Structure 1
Amino acid sequence: MSEWALKRFWKSATAQETPDGFAVLLDGRPVKTPAKATLTVPTLAMGEAIAAEWDAQEALVNPINMPFTRSANAAIDKVAIQHAEVAQMLADYGDADLLCYRADAPEELIARQREIWDPALDWAADALGARLETRTGVIHAPQNAESLSTLSRRVHALDHFRLAAFHDLVSLSGSLVLGFAAAENWRDPDTLWNMSRLDDLWQEEQWGRDDEAHDMAEIKRAAFVHAKAFFDCC
């Protein structure tokens, strides 16, 4: 992405309404995605968030500090042209959802999984109309086809900006249910992220924290929280 190597040349970044949405402008010139499409987003809130990232750049453009820009680029350059494939990949998580695969020991872990994960599955049954069943162990067992179809329709109905955010919510957590729970505001993002890490947190309690693994988890947590913020901006 050669554009990222450019030095800052603009004085101000703004979001401006256009017939197609809201374009991000640098001194009146439209920002382009890595694939050279005009960076046009669906809402003013998203446009202003992206413009603020460009305004915050100093000598060099640093994409690491520009999560809204990166997510919008992904939505336009990747998800929009592969919508069906991305949606189906995410829908497939429902047949092997993290929340459905339970430990067979020790009893304390079994009880914690039941206490923390069962309410999410109950919520999905009520709010999404799809009941996913639990299994003991890691061997795959197919879920009810009607439930999977219901969830799949919901995923495919997302527009490409929401789907880009939803991709991260699901893939980072390993759970289609938690992805929907974040999108539908069932719980706050940090709570849902900790739910996805139940097994890891249990291991930390038993054996102590691995600092490297913890640091990596924090990076993923921040990405999960950002994905929720991006989804909300849609």
Structure 2
Amino acid sequence: MREILNDLEHGSHLSDPDPTKRAQNAMKAPVVKRFYRDVTISEEPEGFGVHLDGKPVRTPGHNALRLPTRAAAQLVGDEFAAQSETFNPVSMPVMRLVNTAIDGVATDPQAVLEDILRFASTDLLFYRADGPDRLVVRQGEAWDPVLDWAREVLGARFFLAEGVMHVEQPRESIAAVGRHLKEREDALTLAALHVMTTLTGSALIALAVEAGEIDSETGWTAAHVDEDWNVEQWGEDFEAAARRKTRKAEMMSAVRLLEALKAVE
């Protein structure tokens, strides 16, 4: 039987020099007919694998798809099992994230860590509106608890600014975030944190959710205070709402993977 996703690559998707983008591009493929019946989880010396009709799933980069916990492997297995007559990777956000981690992030975790730190240096939470007062209050209520956590737990203090003018953050604070990230340097965790960071525009929100300081719904809402305010004032755009729904699904998939990675067998 064909190894999963080999037929979806067509070779042309593997040309990007960035390994993470290469892994993501490999998932941009046409929908194909489902070619397996049974999905099982197998415990192996290196972790837990997903098997289709008894044969192991591999990533687009031909690496073994293995997860450190059964719960994490089950997330991927459930996505395979949920496919109907057709097989559509777009409907499998956890699998795409795992593929990105194994084929991309694992080859250069430092680059991903540094990208998260770049977000931390210009974090959404630092830039406040100068009015109206109700928006200022909402931002404070949603964002200040995360900054308080960063100060108390990470030892990172940040400067705030009104508007979008860049404000330079203390190097010591960015270094403190970096030390926290270093303890989460495994490829799967970094990949999930990177997805959460880019979707919210806030590394601090992503880290607070991962740490359990705030739940995922609170984090998602905090990241969209400004957007929600604009919707209240001007109404909701249908296409923007659809994009937001898709992004939220990606965010929650990353959160589920993080939770599964911490699951005790």
Short-chain TM bin: over 0.9
Match among 7, 25, 35 for residue 3 of structure 1:
7
For the residue of structure 2 that corresponds to 1:34, the secondary structure is coil
CA distance in 1, matches of 2:234, 2:257: 36
Q: 1:6 to 1:214 in 2, by over 3 A?
A: closer
Match among 60, 66, 91 for residue 40 of structure 1:
66
1:140 counterpart residue number: 166
- Alignment of 1:92 with 2:118, yes or no, is yes
- For structure 2, the residue ranges without an aligned partner over 5 or more in a row are 9-30
**Which range moved further: 168-177 or 184-193?**
184-193
Q: CA deviation at 1:6?
A: 5.1
Q: 1:112 to 1:55 in 2, by over 3 A?
A: closer
1:112 counterpart residue number: 138
Q: 1:29 to 1:2 in 2, by over 3 A?
A: closer
Q: CA deviation at 1:217?
A: 1.2
CA distance in 2, matches of 1:92, 1:156: 15
- Over the aligned positions, Cα root-mean-square deviation in angstroms equals 1.5
TM-score (norm 2): 0.84
- Alignment of 1:214 with 2:218, yes or no, is no
1:169–1:182 CA contact under 8 A, matched in 2: no
The runs of at least 4 aligned residues of structure 1 exceeding 6 Å deviation read none
Match among 192, 214, 223 for residue 187 of structure 1:
214
- Alignment of 1:56 with 2:82, yes or no, is yes
TM-score (norm 1): 0.94
2:75–2:257 CA contact under 8 A, matched in 1: no
- Corresponding residue pairs, total: 234
Identity of aligned residues (%): 38
Describe the superposition over 1:43-80 as per-residue Cα deviations: whole angstroms up to 9, x where unpaired. 10011121122222232211122122111111100110
- Alignment of 1:171 with 2:198, yes or no, is yes
- For structure 1, the residue ranges without an aligned partner over 5 or more in a row are none
